[in-house]
Amino acid sequence: MAETQVRLPEARYEFGGDEFVFVELDREMSLHANFKAMAITGALREENIAGIVDICPSNASYLVRLDPEKLHPNDLVTELRRLEHSAGDLDEDLVINTRIVDVPVLFDDPWTRETLLRFRENHQDPNVTDLEYAARINGFSEVEELIEAIGSAPFIVTMLGFVPGLPFCYQMVPRSRQIEVPKYVRPRTDTPERAFGYGGAFAVVYPVRGAGGYQLFGIAPAPVFDNSRSLPDFHDRIAFPRPSDILRYRPIDRNEYDRLRSEVEAGTFRYRIRDVEFSPTAFLKDPDAVNHDLLEELYR
């Protein structure tokens, strides 16, 4: 089933003082809007324009920081408008060079279960777990069906935010199959490090322990943030995920979780990663076929 093509409105450009230009491509999240943001920001990086300090893609928008002594904000907007109508067209030739990554997750684990039970008064339904609540409101008869749906198709990292290294991930399925849940009525004051959460249509892995409002579904054995850079996958950066990464959240059992945690503690853990070329237009035409090929490449 093809993803419904979305006709995006004209982008909205706003200035943040002299140093920032914010561009909103759409007021709601869609894969089409996110692919367009990736295409524009990718093309902008390749142009290597003097005066651009940083480029930050988001779910359906992006932010550019500039040095106004080297690049006038109006000149930057002129260039961004050009890219909106060229690089952002999602033509047949557009290819995103990215990674597909296996991310193991232990669902219904004892640590996030203990946490969510401490905060039932903050939840929409205090009488069930977050997984049970999410399964019910998404039309699944059993929690296992919800877990299977999460693991059946990969997610794309649309942005990093909230805290360093936290990946906002949108499942690569048509809208009719999107899993959606509300955030807690009131946020928790505690969330375990590496907790796998879901809020709106976004899945996340919490990089560090702290507050949070997403529904808690499980926990990952491996970190997405390593300030010490002690693990091999973190030698060149403290945050593992990158915008446009494609993550497959793979359900695992407790034995595999314990084994992988031992590898993390020994400093030997490596994510399973494959470099891939991803075509947004091919995906929008046939998501299931593209996902099948991506997962086949990941586990070959």
The reported pLDDT for the residue numbered 103 is 98
Structural tokens at position 188: 């928790």
Question: Which segments of the chain belong to CATH 2.40.100.10?
Answer: 97-298
- DSSP letters spanning 177-241: G---BPPPSS-BS---TTEEEEEBTEEEE-SSSS-B-SEEEEE-SS-SB-TT--SGGGTT-SB--
β-pairing verdict for 167-171 and 96-107: unpaired
pLDDT of residue 6: 56
Q: Can you give the pLDDT at residue 161?
A: 83
Block means of pLDDT (10 residues each) for the chain, length 300 residues? Answer: 62 95 90 87 92 92 96 96 79 84 98 98 97 98 98 95 89 94 97 97 96 97 95 94 95 98 97 95 93 96
Angstrom distances, CA of residue 290 to CA of 3, 21, 31:
12, 34, 14
Global pTM?
0.89
pLDDT of the residue at 187? 96
The architecture that CATH gives domain 12-91 is 2-Layer Sandwich (3.30)
Q: Where in the chain is the domain with CATH 3.30.1360.40?
A: 12-91
**Rounded to whole angstroms, how far apart are CA atoms 172 and 280?**
11
What is the model's pLDDT at position 256? 98
Fold assignment, 97-298? Cyclophilin (2.40.100)
